[in-house]
Every structure is written in C-alpha cells, then in structure tokens.
Amino acid sequence: MKQSSNKFRHLVWPLVSLALLLLFNAIFTDNFFKVEIKKMDSAQESVRDQIPEIPDELPGTAVEAAAKAEAEIQAPAEQPTAAQVPAEQAPAQKSKGVSIFGYYLYGTPIDILNQGAKVMVLAIGMTLVIATGGIDISVGAVMAIAGAIAALLISMLDAGSFPGASMGPAFYWIIPVIAALILATLAGFWNGMLVAGFGIQPMVATLVLMVAGRGVAQLITDGQIITFTNPGLVFLCNGHALFLPFSVWIVVAMYVVFGLLTRKTAFGLFIESVGNNERASRYAGIEARRIKWLTYVICGFCAGVAGLLAASNIKCADSNNAGLNLELDAILATVIGGTSMAGGRFFLSGSLVGAILIQTLTTTMYMKNVSPAIVAVPKAMVVIIVCLLQSPVFRAKVLSIFASKAAKGGVQ
C-alpha cells in the first residue's frame, strides 16, 4: 500500500490543482459538469428527455476516476483499457438500453478532453524526450508540416491527380494520414540525428527545425490555407466513437501503446537511465544514442498525430498557426505532471493529467468570458506556482521558515 502511494506521489499536486479547478467550476460555472447524450448524424430529435439529468458530482468524479485509471495503468497488474472504459462510461450507463453506437456524450468535460487531445498526444512524446534530459521545441512546426502535407495530398486526391484516388473518398484519406505520419516521424528522425548522432544540444538542435519547419510547411502548401471536406480526415477530431470523441480514443490508444512500451519493456528503464547519467548508461552497455534517437522519433510521430488532429479540427491546414505555441503547452503539461526537466524520471500519466489541467484552465477562462489572449496570464502563473511547488529548493525554504517558527515557539 505504501509503495503504491509513493508511486502516485507525483500525481498528487497536479490532481489537487485539477480538483481545485473543477471545484471552482462546480461552484461558479453553471452547467459545467452537465453532460448530455446526443444522437449521431446530427439527428434533430432531442434525446434529452430520455436521459435523466446527471448529478453534478458524478461526471466530476468520472474525470478524476479517469485520471486515476490512467495512473493505474502504470501498476503492472492493471488492465488499462478495462480500467479506463468503465470510468468513462459510467454516466452513459444511466441511459438505459441506449445502443453503444449512434450516441455520443456532449458537454464541457468532454469538450475539454477533445480540445486537450492535441496537447495530450504531444505531451506523451515530449515526456519521453524530456526524460532523456532533452527537449523538443520543434513539435509545433512538425504539426504544421504534418497538417500541410495531409491537406495537400487530400486535395490532390480529391482532384484525382494522385495515385490511389480510385479507392474513393471513403478510403483514400488513409494515404495522407500515413504520409503525414511518415513525414513527421522523419522530422523526429532528423532531430534525433542532430541530438544523438552529432551530439548537439537538444534545445539548439530542435531550434533549427522550429525556425525552418514552418517555412517548409508554407512551401508545401505554397503559402495557401488548404481546406478539405473529406469525411475520413474530418472524423479524426470531429467524429465520435463509443460515446467519446474519436480523438480521445486516439489519445487512449497512444497512451496504452507507449505506456506498455515503457513500463512493460526495458525501454522505459533505459530512458530513465540515459536521462540520469548518459555516460554511466553507456558503460553499463546501454545504447544511449539509439535510445535518445528513438525518443525523438517517437516525439516526431506524436507531433504528426497532433498535427493531423489540429488540421482535422478546423478542416484545413494553416501553416502559420497550426500548433503555434503548442510546444510550450506540451512542455508545461510534462513538467506539471512531475517529469523532471533534468531527465531521469518520467510519468506519462502525469503528463496527461497536466495536459487536461491546462485545457481545463483554458476552457474555464473562456467560460468566464476572458479573452483568449489574456488566458496566457493565469496560465503562466499556474505554471510558475506548480514549478515552485515541485522545486526542492522552494520546499526546503518554506519548510525552514516553518521550522524556525516552530523552534522559536518552542523556546518561548
């Protein structure tokens, strides 16, 4: 029991912050936790009367339960999807006898998950990179590249000027998706080559792609904003499956894959080892270079997925603004989740909670009529506070203040 509490200690602060934020919303925002079930295919008939009003606390606990379920995936014996799904479906089961397909949940918490999906996906890759002591600030640009190539290919396919167009729009959307993921993975490979292959500082090496990446994306789209209507591509971030937005399932799938990869194989251990002391790991026989390289490739892949989500969400590829500043959000999510910037320890679940926290904060601000531009101010303050709480120096200073007061009290 004690062991498990240690295991989840890193999740305490982010979860407490998230809980406080949700509490704030529960009190001050009307209908924040109201989750409705809607019928798919935009059927006009409302199904609201069939579904009982969901009490306010339930979805709140559902969100937390989901977060906890995510945390439990790290515990070896848990079955991740099994733990995840009941928690998410809990509100849905109240609607007796509704078919699983054809209905979806609708409400602010669901919207937070959907909008936060991009940062969550990015944070998964970023966590692994940061765990090796590196950083990848090019993910936003890679997102723009992925979105650009996907939009370009889909427009070419729609025009029938690309091999595979004969498959028909219901199937050929897979080509741009695969192309975007390959290109993004290549971008990650390039970053890894600079960092692991040539030994360049990670921040600097990824700066190159960050500066040049948006230029590349602009060249791909020829400076235009390419819009698309292909149902398959649009489905990625706007579609629903099994009650939830499809993007959430993408996040779950990626979390399960990378969670298993890092906790069920030695890969995670190698990452932490490289992050702790690269030279020592090399002497211990770990291919430190290859491990680092691989984390950047994974990060590139994640950025590609996030780029597809971003493009799908707005049904177009905007090379200027896709993923703008999202690298920062991803890093913040990772740090809030308890992953050390110095490398050596990482928590995928923490990063996901961090991403949800950031998105919840953003959505809360929007609901309070705060201008999107000003949202950055409280976000920055939350970041500094969370960082301070995690900083050992700050803790020691605060503790010493309390200790000295206690000592004085004792003397008197």
Positions in the binding site for other proteins (CB under 8 A): 133, 135, 194, 198-201, 203-205, 207-216, 218-219, 222-223, 278-279, 324, 328, 331-332, 335, 341, 371, 373-381, 383-384, 387-388, 391, 393-394, 397
User: Smallest distance from the beta carbon of 146 to other proteins, in angstroms?
Assistant: 17
Cα-Cα-Cα-Cα dihedral sign, residues 317, 318, 324, 329: negative
The Cα–Cα gap between 72 and 87 comes to 12
Secondary structure (3-state) at 53: coil
Q: Which of 163, 149, 159 minimizes the C-alpha distance to 233?
A: 149
Which residue has tokens 């590196």? 134
CB nearer to other proteins: pick between 247 and 340: 340
CA–CA gap between residue 113 and residue 115 (Å, rounded): 6
Nearer to other proteins, 118 or 240 (CB): 118
- Is 156:232 a contact under the CB 8 Å cutoff? no
Beta pairing, strands 240-241 & 244-245: antiparallel
* Angle between the N-to-C axes of helices 288-314 and 139-158, in degrees from 0 to 180, rounded to the nearest 10: 50
Nearest distance in Å: CB 374, other proteins:
5
User: In the bound complex, what is the minimum distance in angstroms from residue 376's beta carbon to other proteins?
Assistant: 4
CB nearer other proteins, residue 284 or residue 388: 388
CB–CB of 291/161 below 8 Å?
no
- Pick the closer one to other proteins by CB: 123 or 248: 123
In the complex, what is the shortest distance from the CB of residue 357 to other proteins, in angstroms, rounded to a whole number? Answer: 15
CA distances from 356 to 29, 125, 238, 325, 400 (A): 18, 16, 18, 17, 33
The residues pairing with 399 across neighbouring beta strands, listed in sequence order, are none
Of 88 and 278, CB closest to other proteins: 278
CB of 373 to other proteins, least distance (A): 4
Report the residue number, 257 or 341, with the smaller CB distance to other proteins.
341
**Number of helices and strands in the chain (H, E):** 17, 6
HSE toward the beta carbon, residue 101, CA cutoff 13 A: 0
Q: Which is nearer to other proteins, 63 or 130 (CB)?
A: 130
Taking only Cα atoms into account, the Rg of the chain, rounded to an integer number of angstroms, comes to 22
CB of 2 to other proteins, least distance (A): 29
| Closest distance of CB 361 from other proteins, Å | 12
Closest approach, Cβ 8 to other proteins, in A, equals 24
Question: Which CB sits closer to other proteins, 230 or 351?
Answer: 351
Q: Please, what is the minimum distance in Å from the beta carbon of residue 398 to other proteins?
A: 10
Residue 261 or 375: the one with the smaller Cβ distance to other proteins is 375
> What's the CA gap between 193 and 186, in Å, rounded?
10
**Contact in structure between 190 and 209 (CB atoms under 8 Å):** yes
